[in-house]
C-alpha cells in the first residue's frame, strides 16, 4: 500500500508540474510549485519507508522548511512590477 501511495504522489506531482508550466497567471505557478514542494516532502518520507531507511525523514523536515522559505521569498517581491500586471504574464 505504501508503493501505491508513492505512485499516487508521483501522479499528483506530474499534475502540479503541468499546471506550473501551463498556468495562465503568475500566482498559479507559485501555487503549483508550493503544492509540488509539499508533495515532495510526502514523497521523501514515503520513499524512506519503501527502502526501509527512515532516516530520510530528516531530509523531509528540512525540505518542508525550505519550501516555506522559498514561497515567502518569492512573495516578498509581490509589490514589484511583474506582479502588478493584473495576473497576466510578461514574457
Partner 1 sequence: MDFLLNISSSLCLLIGSFLCISGGVGILRFPDFYSRMHAVGVTETLATTMILIGLMLQNPDALVVLKLILILLLTLFISPTASHALAKAAIQNNLRPKLDKRDNNEQVTSSNR
Q: Where do contacts with partner 1 occur on this chain (CB under 8 A)?
A: 1-2, 4-5, 8-9, 11-12, 15-16, 18-19, 25, 27-28, 30-32, 34-35, 38-39, 41-42, 45-46, 49, 54, 57-58, 60-61, 64-65, 67-68, 71-72, 75, 78-79, 83-84, 86-87
Of residues 74, 79, 41, 43, the one with CA closest to residue 60: 41
Residues 77 and 41: their CA atoms lie apart, in Å, by 25
Residue placing its CB nearer to partner 1 in the complex, 28 or 51: 28
Alpha carbons 30 and 46: distance in angstroms, whole number? 24
Amino acid at each position: 500500500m505504501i508503493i501505491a501511495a508513492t505512485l499516487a504522489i508521483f501522479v499528483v506531482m506530474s499534475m502540479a508540474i503541468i499546471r506550473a508550466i501551463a498556468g495562465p497567471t503568475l500566482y498559479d505557478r507559485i501555487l503549483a510549485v508550493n503544492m509540488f514542494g509539499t508533495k515532495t516532502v510526502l514523497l521523501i518520507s514515503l520513499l524512506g519507508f519503501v527502502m526501509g531507511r527512515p532516516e530520510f525523514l530528516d531530509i523531509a523536515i528540512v525540505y518542508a522548511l525550505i519550501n516555506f522559505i522559498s514561497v515567502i521569498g518569492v512573495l516578498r517581491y509581490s509589490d514589484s512590477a511583474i506582479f502588478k500586471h493584473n495576473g497576466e504574464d510578461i514574457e
